[in-house]
Amino acid sequence: MDAFSPSPAAGLRPLTVRMATPRGFCAGVDRAIQIVERAIEKFGAPVYVRHEIVHNKHVVDRLKSLGAVFVKDLDECPDDRPVVFSAHGVPKSVPATARARELMFLDATCPLVSKVHVEAERHHANGRHIILIGHAGHPEVVGTLGQLPQGAISLVETVEDAESFQRPGDRPLAYATQTTLSLDDTSEILRVLKRRFPELPDPHKEDICYATTNRQEAVKQLANGSGLVLVVGSKNSSNSVRLVEVALRAGAGNAQLIDDASQIDWSWLDGVSTVGVTAGASAPEPLVQAVVQALQARFDVTLADDPGEQETVTFKLPRALTV
Give the residue numbers marked as catalytic: 140
What are the C-alpha distances in Å from 240 to residues 47, 139, 203? 27, 15, 23
Which of 212, 234, 237, 240 touches ligand SF4 by CB under 6 A?
212
267 is known to lie in a ligand binding site: no
Indicate whether 278 belongs to the interface with ligand SF4 (CB under 6 A). Answer: no
Size of the site for ligand SF4 (CB under 6 A): 15
Which of 15, 49, 113, 218 touches ligand SF4 by CB under 6 A?
113
58 is known to lie in a ligand binding site: no
Secondary structure (DSSP) of 107-143: E---HHHHHHHHHHHHHHHTT-EEEEES-TT-HHHHH
- Distance between CA 86 and CA 148 in Å, rounded? 19
Indicate whether 179 belongs to the interface with ligand SF4 (CB under 6 A). Answer: yes
Of residues 281 through 300, those in contact with ligand SF4 by CB under 6 A are 281
Query: How far from chain centre, in Å, is Cα 303?
Result: 26
Which of 15, 17, 20, 29 touches ligand SF4 by CB under 6 A?
29
Of residues 37 through 56, those in contact with ligand SF4 by CB under 6 A are none
- Distance between CA 258 and CA 261 in Å, rounded? 7
Exposed, middle or buried: residue 29 (CB in 10 Å: 0-12, 13-18, 19+)? buried
Contact present, 147 and 91 (Cβ < 8 Å): yes
Indicate whether 145 belongs to the interface with ligand SF4 (CB under 6 A). Answer: no
Indicate whether 232 belongs to the interface with ligand SF4 (CB under 6 A). Answer: no
Contact present, 267 and 88 (Cβ < 8 Å): no
Indicate whether 112 belongs to the interface with ligand SF4 (CB under 6 A). Answer: yes
Give 81 or 138: the residue with its C-beta nearer to ligand SF4: 138
Indicate whether 133 belongs to the interface with ligand SF4 (CB under 6 A). Answer: no
Indicate whether 89 belongs to the interface with ligand SF4 (CB under 6 A). Answer: no
204 is known to lie in a ligand binding site: no
Task: Give least dist CB 206 to ligand SF4, A.
Answer: 12
88 is known to lie in a ligand binding site: yes
- Distance between CA 46 and CA 43 in Å, rounded? 8
238 is known to lie in a ligand binding site: yes
138 is known to lie in a ligand binding site: yes
Contact present, 201 and 173 (Cβ < 8 Å): no
Window contacting ligand SF4 (CB under 6 A); options: 42-50, 107-115, 250-258, 283-291? 107-115
Q: Based on C-alpha coordinates, what's the Rg of the chain?
A: 22
Output b/e per residue, 194-212; b: 16+ Cβ within 10 A: beeeeebeebeebbbbbbb
Give 13 or 205: the residue with its C-beta nearer to ligand SF4: 205
Contact present, 209 and 180 (Cβ < 8 Å): yes
Residues found near ligand SF4 in the complex (CB under 6 A): 26-29, 87, 110, 112-113, 179-180, 209, 211-212, 239, 281
Residues contributing to the annotated binding site? 26, 55, 88, 110, 138, 179, 209, 237-239, 282
